[in-house]
Structure 1
Amino acid sequence: MSNPAPSATKLFVKTFGTKPDALFSAPGRVNLIGEHTDYNDGFVLPAAINFHTVIAVKVRTDDQFRAVADNYPEIRQWRYGAEGEMAANDDWINYLKGFSAAVALSGLPAKGLDLAVVGNVPVDAGLASSASLEIAFGCAINDTSQLHLSPLAVAQLAQRGENHYVGHACGIMDHITSAMAEEDCALLIDCMDLESQPVSIPDTLSLMIINSGLPSVRHSEDFNERRQQCEQVAEHFGLDTLRHLSLASLQQQQATLDATAFRRARHVISENLRTQKTARALATGDIGRIAQLMAESHDSMRDDFDIVPPAIDTLVHIIRQQLGSHGGVRMTGKGFGGCVIALVEHEYTDKVIAAVERQYPSATGLEASIYLCSPTAGAARVAK
């Protein structure tokens, strides 16, 4: 895949007639396991991937921001601390304005910037293209205004901006991963206390992302409903979240719970356990165990959380048939569309690709896009 950095520099020069001062890059991410656990204060196990958003910037002498993107050549501008109304229709500029508004609300001073944005994170695939944009911008503000914020603080401000200004009630997994990931590792994140630890991904495994051809649905009433159902079960047990509820306690009270809410909670609680077990299996290189846990996760998302469309279930089935115990596969992301993640022993990679290309279109009428990725490090200033 092409490096966005030269294109970002070129776009900056074309737009503003001068060279940028610096470039900042932040990766997208894929979640290996741990779905719909983040807003329940649970565990997630994502990895940053070698798709990035790059922002070329030049510091201004005032508090103005002027921004342009490769797919949106019109210059957008706003003043720091006076972001005003967010643009309609989930506009890309809202993610930048939301971040600067969150920084301004915290009382920190920041300098204005001219900036040009270029990225190659697939959009509408559930690979955190918006978080990649926010974190790259956050790193630019942090560096050029010498705010001395930690990567975690940048991630928290990005989440705050997206929650309060963009209007997306997202968890913090995407932002932490884009800001803090380590090369060749997944990141086990405890979403309750925001502690994280890198977990090496065995070098015998290929990291394969297969875009189903069904767009990822970022936010919908379906997600809000599932979140409310999880909250209802936690409230039933007198808890703030499902984090502290055991599977045994849930099962003991099954008869007193709404049947659908029970299944939602069972997914979250069992997924937390699977995520921690998968981290241990990665650390010890137990590929067969990884395959089993990822299969259980996918089936739980399909049967208990009801977020796996038939086409993606078919795609996972095709890949499972090729892998057996030689790798794991599951739907990844919020559900209803988006991507499948597969950890594949290298000698099975070509076999999986051939099966997907041969069987998936005839079974579903959809074309899949296949990406062989590398687990990469988090956001950084790019050497010019």
Structure 2
Amino acid sequence: MIDPVARAAAAFRTVHGEAPARIAHAPGRVNLIGEHTDYNDGFVLPCAIDRGTAVAIGPAADGMISVTSADYDETDVFDPAAPFQPAPGWRSHVRAVAAVFRARGLPLAGARLGIAGDVPQGAGLSSSASLGVALAAALDGEQRFDATELALIAQAAENDFVGVACGNMDQLIAAHGQAGAALLIDCRTLAIKAVALPEDMAVLIIHSGITRGLVESAYNARRAACEAVAARLGVKALRDADLPALAAAAGLDAVACRRARHVISENARTLAMAAAVAASDWPQIGTLMAASHASMRDDFEITLPEIDALVARLAAATGGIGGARMTGGGFGGCVVALARGDRVPALHAAALAHFASVGRVPGLIHSCRPAAGLQITPG
């Protein structure tokens, strides 16, 4: 597939007959561990991937924003000064980012956009955050915002206008990703620490073939449940709770306890995983990934039996030199495996065997190294 930056620029030139003024590119991400902890003010350990979304931009004299999607061969035109109006599919994400600028008293001039990406949608690899961060950077022609502020604009677009109660992990890693490293992110303070991946560590992403939409899924319900437990415990967020306090809490039903137990234990696993990756502690990596997946399956209840089976096959194929878990918001999407590079052929074979057993055409099976975050280049 042609690079998204080249395709976005080509789409712009085809429609407008000239080169764009600049192009913003933001990557997707894979989360190595730390699921549903970001909106609980906790810790996450994602890395940016070598797939992303590019937004080519140039001025428009009529004050409107016109957009061409190279991926869908579709267009949209809207007035950035008018109240937000949802539109089908990708269009709402573009309009939502513009709406955040408007809501913050930052008027946007007219613009022409060309968009292209290669992050699989509905795969749990943050295609929407990739788009949101690239859009925010492209629309910020005056360069008023740093990378963190652009990430928070993209998050606000999801929360306030698209309708997904996501945390800030996806946008922060899209903005700040570093080549060769995962980022340990404190989602409360926004502090970021690079965790270099050993040279012999492979990151393998396998799309289960089951897509999901976060708005329609139980994602928002899980967030509401976590916030309710935190309120019952008298803490700002589950980041501030521990397992003894949860066990001692009166009046919590069994489901609420399981939801909170996942978040509290996942925060601890994330901190331990950062240390294990830095030390190339393969047994600990495998143990932590297995425990994370089991917690998502049993306590948070966001996996599916077919994905559980894929994780089990991949974990076995590491031969004890790595591990596997579902990644992303849940209810479909991708599995991530961390393993020594010489185990990749066995993991690839295990993935193909899984797809044969469930009768699916193999989806994305992609081995990568962590990539850089947001990049802005002249058109």
Q: TM-score range by the shorter chain?
A: over 0.9
State the one-letter code of the partner of 1:323.
Answer: T
Which residue of structure 2 lines up, in the alignment, with residue 39 of structure 1? 39
The answer to whether structure 1 residue 313 and structure 2 residue 308 are counterparts is yes
CA distance in 1, matches of 2:53, 2:174: 10
Percent identity, aligned pairs only?
A: 41
Judge conservation of contact 1:135–1:155 (CA < 8 Å) in 2.
yes
Q: What are the equivalent positions in structure 2 for 1:293-372 lying under 5 Å apart? A: 293-357=288-352, 359-369=353-363, 370-372=365-367
State the one-letter code of the partner of 2:133.
Answer: I
State the one-letter code of the partner of 1:376.
Answer: A
Report which stretch shifted further, 335-344 or 210-219.
210-219
State the SS of the aligned residue for 1:100: helix
State the SS of the aligned residue for 2:161: helix
Which residue of structure 1 lines up, in the alignment, with residue 101 of structure 2? 103
State the SS of the aligned residue for 1:156: helix
CA distance in 2, matches of 1:267, 1:141: 38
Judge conservation of contact 2:71–2:117 (CA < 8 Å) in 1.
no
Q: What are the equivalent positions in structure 2 for 1:266-285 lying under 5 Å apart? A: 266-285=261-280
1:235 to 219, 231, 237: 231
The answer to whether structure 1 residue 65 and structure 2 residue 65 are counterparts is yes
Judge conservation of contact 1:96–1:134 (CA < 8 Å) in 2.
yes
The Cα offsets for residues 231-282 of structure 1, whole Å up to 9 and x where unpaired, read as 22212211222111111221233x7420111111111100000001101111
State the SS of the aligned residue for 1:72: coil
Which residue of structure 2 lines up, in the alignment, with residue 262 of structure 1? 257
Q: What are the equivalent positions in structure 2 for 1:94-133 lying under 5 Å apart? A: 94-133=92-131
The Cα offsets for residues 51-102 of structure 1, whole Å up to 9 and x where unpaired, read as 01111211234532110101333431122222541114xx211111111111
CA distance in 1, matches of 2:276, 2:146: 30
> Could you list the runs of 5+ residues in structure 1 that have no partner in the other structure?
none
Judge conservation of contact 1:80–1:104 (CA < 8 Å) in 2.
yes
State the one-letter code of the partner of 2:343.
Answer: Y
Classify 1:252/1:349 alpha carbon distance in 2 versus 1 (closer, same or farther; 3 Å): same
Judge conservation of contact 1:217–1:334 (CA < 8 Å) in 2.
no
CA distance in 1, matches of 2:204, 2:93: 28
State the one-letter code of the partner of 1:366.
Answer: R
State the SS of the aligned residue for 1:257: coil
Classify 1:57/1:224 alpha carbon distance in 2 versus 1 (closer, same or farther; 3 Å): closer
Cα RMSD (Å): 1.6
Per-residue deviation, 1:109: 4.0
State the one-letter code of the partner of 1:312.
Answer: I
State the SS of the aligned residue for 1:352: helix
Judge conservation of contact 1:212–1:367 (CA < 8 Å) in 2.
no
Per-residue deviation, 1:112: 2.0
Per-residue deviation, 1:219: 2.5
Classify 1:219/1:339 alpha carbon distance in 2 versus 1 (closer, same or farther; 3 Å): same
State the SS of the aligned residue for 2:218: helix
Per-residue deviation, 1:186: 0.8
Judge conservation of contact 1:81–1:105 (CA < 8 Å) in 2.
no
CA distance in 2, matches of 1:221, 1:16: 39
Which residue of structure 1 lines up, in the alignment, with residue 53 of structure 2? 53
The answer to whether structure 1 residue 93 and structure 2 residue 91 are counterparts is yes
Which residue of structure 2 lines up, in the alignment, with residue 23 of structure 1? 23
Judge conservation of contact 2:32–2:47 (CA < 8 Å) in 1.
yes
State the one-letter code of the partner of 2:361.
Answer: E
State the SS of the aligned residue for 2:227: helix
CA distance in 2, matches of 1:16, 1:248: 62
The answer to whether structure 1 residue 202 and structure 2 residue 191 are counterparts is no
State the SS of the aligned residue for 2:331: coil
CA distance in 2, matches of 1:79, 1:200: 44
State the one-letter code of the partner of 1:302.
Answer: R
CA distance in 1, matches of 2:103, 2:146: 18
State the one-letter code of the partner of 2:239.
Answer: R
CA distance in 2, matches of 1:280, 1:239: 27
Judge conservation of contact 1:35–1:332 (CA < 8 Å) in 2.
yes
State the SS of the aligned residue for 1:87: coil
CA distance in 1, matches of 2:350, 2:205: 14
State the one-letter code of the partner of 2:56.
Answer: A
Per-residue deviation, 1:221: 5.4
State the SS of the aligned residue for 1:317: helix
The answer to whether structure 1 residue 211 and structure 2 residue 204 are counterparts is no
The Cα offsets for residues 129-176 of structure 1, whole Å up to 9 and x where unpaired, read as 11111111111122x2x1321111111111112211112211111111
CA distance in 2, matches of 1:72, 1:363: 32
CA distance in 1, matches of 2:263, 2:280: 25
Report which stretch shifted further, 5-14 or 274-283.
5-14
Per-residue deviation, 1:2: 3.2
CA distance in 2, matches of 1:321, 1:147: 48
